[in-house]
Chains A and B, each alone.
Chain A
Amino acid sequence: MNDTLPTGDDLQEREFIDAALAGDVMAERALYEAHVERVFRLAYRMTGDQELAEDFTQEAFLRAFQHLPGFRGQAAFATWLHSIASSVVLNGLRRVRRWRQMETWEEKAPETGKEDDDAVLKIKLDRAIGALPDDLRAVFLMHDAEGYTHREIAAVLAIPEGTAKAQLARARQRLRDALGEAGRTVGGEA
């Protein structure tokens, strides 16, 4: 699978970074415009909360601009930025949970219909995704919802690629388990 994080025009992006380092706010805005959608999407996927997602996106860009002098271009700017964003989101989620139970859509959604209806199974899956530990949920949503490659996930979360693959497999297995009997396949695989 090809990498999906925006790489932009490398040369132009380097120029924007250099200009941003020299204090050019328009260059910062250009970098922001190129990447904000993906950062926000990740924050929203993980939180399901507009206000938190905006706050985490702000924090990620603030920290990126603050640390921009240390960015040398060894990794792609998008990968570097997303590693900051994922750190902000995962830390922020832990902090938020200390103060309030996160409301989830599934608590409001009634589970009606036959046990193996697609609609009922999707509600079960949605609940199970929300109940995954943050690290597994991040990997699952990055890969299956946002289309990151294993290599990108590994770089962003600072974990080996093999670990990213293993975590995705564990997340999917947990979702199958959440389906109960319906999650067992004809071939017998749970």
Chain B
Amino acid sequence: MMDEDRIGRLMREAARDHHAPPPAPKDRIWEGIQRRRRAPRRAAISRGLRANWFWIPAAALILLVGVLIGRETLRGDAERQLGEMQRRFSEAGRGEVFAAAAVPFLSRADALLTRYRGGPRDTQDRNEIRDWAGSLLAETRLLLDSPAADDAEMRLLLMDLELTLARIHQAPAGDDAERRVITEGMEDRGVMTRLRARIPAGQSLASL
């Protein structure tokens, strides 16, 4: 057993020493920021091509044709190639599956942002919107951590949503000016337009 002072001192020292940071390499980080800002479009295109919906079925079709030809010419290898094709198709389709799974979330986000943009009716409505934003914020972060975010456009949309939801969640109660600023920010970045483009017709909660 030990006295409270000793425990307090040990905890303070352990906190101070845990991953004690060196000075920030300011110039290197700044250069990295500038480099990434100069090349965002190139990276987005590259990532987009990787996850583009056109390329996934196209690649699968090419693989399928290849396997069929292989079956005719090299029957002994056909089973192995088919297995390989199925594996590749499965990997290529993984992001698509997650994107489809994200649709209900995007519908709820659309419904929330629509309701928020219209302005809360009363205090209870305002509190509900704030809690709802907090809940969707957690889901947004999970999606950012999932293969759904492998798609460059989806990732950017989720990042914009994350910031918008965080601001709604933190906005001071009854501050209409803040609500206008958040709404204008959403409109400037086309958040709702991009959100709705991801929701198949008939699945939007906001239109109900």
Q: How far is the CB of A174 from chain B (nearest CB, A)?
A: 11
Q: Is B170 part of the binding interface, using a Cβ–Cβ cutoff of 8 Å?
A: yes
B19 touching A40 by the CB < 8 A rule? Answer: no
B192 within 8 A of A: no
Task: Report yes or no: B145 in contact with A94, Cβ–Cβ below 8 A.
Answer: yes
Produce 1/0 per residue, B110-131, CB < 8 A to A.
Answer: 0000000000000000000000
Contacting residues of chain A (79-136) with chain B, CB-CB under 8 angstroms: 83-84, 87, 90-91, 94-95, 98, 116, 118, 121-122, 125-126, 129-130
A11 → chain B closest CB, angstroms: 20
Q: Are A187 and B4 in contact (CB under 8 A)?
A: yes
Flag if A58 contacts B24 (CB, 8 Å).
no
CA of A45 to CA of B25, assembled, Å: 15
Q: Does B188 contact A (CB under 8 A)?
A: yes
Q: Is the CB of A37 within 8 A of B181?
A: no
In the docked arrangement, what's the CA distance between A126 and B22, Å? Answer: 18
Contact residues, B45-80 vs A (CB, 8 A) = none
Interface residues of A in 20-75 (CB under 8 A from B): 29, 32-33, 36-37, 39-41, 44-48, 50, 53-55, 57-58, 61-63, 65, 67, 69-70, 72, 74-75
Inter-chain pairs besides A126-B14, A140-B15, 11 sampled, C-beta below 8 Å: A32-B30, A33-B26, A45-B21, A69-B185, A87-B141, A94-B141, A94-B145, A116-B2, A122-B17, A186-B3, A187-B4
The 8 closest A-B pairs by CB, nearest first: A70-B185, A40-B24, A125-B14, A44-B21, A144-B15, A48-B19, A145-B15, A41-B21
